[in-house]
Every structure is written in structure tokens, then in C-alpha cells.
């Protein structure tokens, strides 16, 4: 189903000077060289399950913050926030250019159970407009709340950076629906959602499991989705209709054209549904007038599918709707299988839209 929108100390510079014919270090001297001063290295701030939130927390492991948001509040652009091993029942909002590092997906968990932001910063991890580069790595991120702002759709990781000069990297995480949402089979949970996220986005080496959509990359800036595992997704029933799960969905449903929507070396397995969808234009999306325009272009290469059958589901589904919309895609060396009644690769253009596909070395079989 397509989502409906309502929607500790800095380092010290050292310089060598000549004194009586001998090179000696001068510390903290400014302006003694003809070149410009080097930028000071960033700080690391710490978060721990035994920490305490104070106005100055996080500067050292012994003064760690208790919450990630407190450490981010004390950070400046370019800093690293290091979250020690443990279980954290909290959500995270990233509003500045930082690196957020866990101790590893098997050791550090961000758990959104019961936490409703009741506002635009939805998701267990939310990245807004940051003015620079963001990285989130080394976590299990789980149990999203069905937030009212998203129309009740739980989202594990939400990306909404509106600055085209920014970048976001989501890597080496386990992104999971978890078990706290009793309505998971009706409320369309999403693993990774980009909502008009203009930043250059890299999503790599993650495992996404248990959601309805593995990743919805909607009206995104350049996006690379690579070396991820999408598995054990769930079907959803709404208004007596059952919708098969969707692994990766690239969608352009606003006027204009988005490019660089690329997926490579991903694995889709252990569910009965769609592998990859790429769609230009959508009549129930994020525009105020219908039809919703939007062209899209990208490359799908070296992806592997091992999918069960589901009525209407497709291994790779390419669609373009409405006059003036174009879908341009390079399909290279995608392999695997879907089981009947699923289909392998389908192209469909309607109402004057166009699709241009270059195919090389693809082999996706349909097994009875």
C-alpha cells in the first residue's frame, strides 16, 4: 500500500619554531605560520544507562548523559555522540550535524515502546534538517509508536532533512518493528521512511525486519540503498483488503524529477510480497491536486530476491502514471526467485506516462 500523507576538550595546535638553530614545539601560538590554522578536532559526548542528564553532561564517560537527546543538546556540529551498550527506552531527534554511534546492534538498543512524540519529530530515530553530515550506526532500533502525526503509521527511522547540501548515513543497524504494537497487522509500520528528505542519503549494511514496508524512499534527494537485508516483513489488512509487504519502495509523487535513486547488493527474503518498487507519479500521495506528478530515475543492480507468492505481488515492479511522468531505470544482474502467484519483473505505464528500462543480466524466476 502506498502511504497516504496528512502529513573532551579540543586538541591543541602544535607548531615548530626555530630557536637558536633548534626546532622546538610551540603550543597554542596563533599566526606564526603563513598557512591558515587547522580546524580543531570534534568532541565525543557519552551516553550511558547509569548516566545523568545535566546541562554539562556527556563530556567524559564518568559524566555521561542518561538520554541521547541530552547529549545531542550539548553537542555542536561535527561532534560524535557515543551511546554505551544497554537498553534505552527513548526516542532520538537529530537536529544538528553529528555522528550517533552505538556499541553495536547486538549491544545498544533504542526502544520507542509507548513514546508518542505527538508532533512532527516522529519515529524512534528522527533526522531533521541538520546543516551538515549525519551518521547513525551500531544500534538495534525498535518498537515504533503509531504516531498521530503520521496518521497512525509507526516508523522506526524517519528522515526529513530538507537541505540539499546535507547528507545522512544510516548504517550497520538492526531496524525492527518489535513486539509492542498490537495493531502491527493493520497500521502499516515502516522500517525506514524518507519524507521529502532532500539530503543525499546512504542506507547500507542494515537489517530491516518485521515491518510492512522495509524502506519507503519518498521524494528523496540522491539515495543509495546498498548491502541491506530486508526480511520477515508482514502483510497488512485494511478495510477487508490484505496488502502484501513491500521491501523497498522508491516513489516520486511531487512535481519535478528526482534522480540517483539506486539500490544494489540487497537481499530480500522470508516474506511473501514485493521486492523492489519504483514508481513515478501516484494519485493518492503528497500533492494537493490530482494527478500527482513526479518523474524518477535510478539503477537497480545485483539485488537478490527469495520471496514467497502473494496475490498481486511482484519481484521488481516499475510503474509510471500520468502524462509527462517518466521512469528511467537501469536493471543489471538482479537474481533470485518469487513463488507463484507472484510475478518477476513488471513494467506498467498508464495515462500517457513513459517507462525507459535498460536490462542486462537479470534472472528472476517464478517457481510454482
Domains of the chain, with CATH numbers?
A: 77-367 (2.160.20.10)
Element (H, E) at 68: helix 68-74
What per-residue confidence (pLDDT) applies to 55?
Answer: 97
What per-residue confidence (pLDDT) applies to 288?
Answer: 59
pLDDT digits (tens, 9 = 90+) for 318-339: 999 888 899 999 999 999 999 9
What per-residue confidence (pLDDT) applies to 188?
Answer: 97
What per-residue confidence (pLDDT) applies to 286?
Answer: 65
What is the three-class DSSP state of 69? Answer: helix
3-state secondary structure 279-339: EECCCCCCCCCCCCCCEEEEEEECCEEEEECCCCCEEEEEEEECCCCEEEEEEECCEEEEE
Distances (CA, A) of 306 to 84, 273, 274, 350: 36, 10, 10, 29
Residue ranges for the chain with pLDDT beneath 50: 1-40
pTM of the model: 0.88
Contact status, residue 122 vs residue 128, Cβ threshold 8 Å:
no
pLDDT digits (tens, 9 = 90+) for 181-215: 999 999 999 999 998 899 999 999 999 999 999 99
What per-residue confidence (pLDDT) applies to 1?
Answer: 38
**Residue listed under C-alpha cell 556499541:** 103
Amino acid at each position: 500500500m502506498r502511504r497516504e500523507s496528512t502529513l573532551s576538550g579540543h586538541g591543541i595546535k602544535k607548531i615548530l619554531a626555530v630557536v637558536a638553530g633548534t626546532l622546538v614545539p610551540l603550543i597554542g601560538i596563533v599566526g606564526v605560520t603563513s598557512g591558515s590554522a587547522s580546524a580543531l578536532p570534534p568532541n565525543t559526548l557519552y551516553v550511558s544507562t547509569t548516566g545523568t542528564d545535566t546541562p554539562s553532561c556527556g563530556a567524559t564517560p564518568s559524566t555521561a548523559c542518561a538520554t541521547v537527546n541530552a547529549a545531542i543538546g550539548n553537542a555542536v556540529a561535527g561532534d560524535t555522540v557515543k551511546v554505551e551498550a544497554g537498553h534505552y527506552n527513548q526516542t532520538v531527534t537529530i537536529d544538528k550535524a553529528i555522528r550517533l554511534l552505538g556499541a553495536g546492534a547486538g549491544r545498544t538498543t533504542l526502544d520507542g515502546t509507548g513514546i508518542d512524540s505527538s508532533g512532527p519529530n516522529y519515529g524512534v530515530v528522527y533526522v531533521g534538517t541538520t546543516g551538515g553530515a549525519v551518521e547513525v550506526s551500531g544500534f538495534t532500533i525498535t518498537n515504533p509508536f503509531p504516531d498521530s502525526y503520521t496518521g497512525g503509521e509507526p516508523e522506526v527511522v524517519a528522515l526529513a532533512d530538507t537541505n540539499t547540501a546535507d547528507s545522512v548515513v544510516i548504517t550497520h543497524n538492526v531496524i525492527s518493528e518489535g513486539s509492542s504494537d498490537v495493531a502491527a497487522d493493520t497500521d502499516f509500520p515502516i522500517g525506514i521512511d524518507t519524507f521529502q528528505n532532500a539530503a543525499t542519503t546512504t542506507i547500507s549494511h542494515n537489517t530491516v525486519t518485521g515491518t510492512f514496508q522495509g524502506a519507503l524512499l519518498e521524494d528523496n534527494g540522491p539515495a543509495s540503498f546498498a548491502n541491506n537485508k530486508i526480511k520477515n516483513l508482514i502483510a497488512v489488512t485494511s478495510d477487508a483488503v490484505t496488502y502484501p509487504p513491500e521491501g523497498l519502495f522508491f516513489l516520486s509523487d511531487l512535481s519535478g524529477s528526482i534522480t540517483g535513486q539506486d539500490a544494489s547488493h540487497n537481499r530480500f527474503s522470508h516474506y511473501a510480497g514485493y521486492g523492489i518498487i519504483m514508481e513515478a507519479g501516484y494519485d493518492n500521495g503528497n500533492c494537493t491536486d490530482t494527478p500527482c506528478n513526479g518523474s524518477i530515475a535510478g539503477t537497480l543492480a545485483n539485488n537478490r530476491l527469495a520471496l514467497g507468492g502473494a496475490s498481486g505481488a511482484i519481484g521488481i515492479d516499475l510503474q509510471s502514471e500520468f502524462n509527462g511522468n517518466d521512469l528511467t531505470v537501469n536493471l543489471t544482474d538482479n537474481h533470485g526467485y518469487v513463488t507463484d502467484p507472484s510475478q518477476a519483473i513488471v513494467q506498467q505505464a498508464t495515462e500517457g506516462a513513459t517507462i525507459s528500462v535498460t536490462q542486462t543480466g537479470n534472472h528472476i524466476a517464478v517457481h510454482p
